Amino acid sequence: MTDAVMALAPASGITAAAACAAFGVSRATVQRRHARLSAPPAISRPRPPPARALSAAQQQVVLDLLHAARFADTLAGDSA
């Protein structure tokens, strides 16, 4: 619908508000869509690592600890 309003309004000489009212579309929605389509694409930038992130060696120590037998699920084989 918003495409029809964007095409109809400038071509026929009627206002965008009148075209939106005729199609039953919010004028703000049409304006947002038009702005989004005409804006340059956003540049994605890689995020820097958090300052408090664990190093690779620290991560491995934590994973080794969590994979230890004392943290294994002991109820997995029980049918209680």
Domain assignment of residue 33, yes or no? yes
**Report field, pTM of the whole predicted structure over 0.95:** no
Kindly give, in sequence order, each residue whose CB lies less than 8 Å from that of residue 31, ignoring residues fewer than 6 positions away: 16
Domain assignment of residue 23, yes or no? yes
Domain assignment of residue 45, yes or no? no
Domain assignment of residue 48, yes or no? no
pLDDT tens per residue across span 4-46: 776 666 666 778 788 888 888 888 888 888 888 888 888 999 9
Give me the number of domains the chain comprises: 1
Q: Which of the two residues, 38 and 60, has the higher pLDDT score? A: 60
Residue 61 Cα to chain centre, angstroms: 33
Query: Residue 11 belongs to what domain range?
Result: 2-38
Domain assignment of residue 28, yes or no? yes
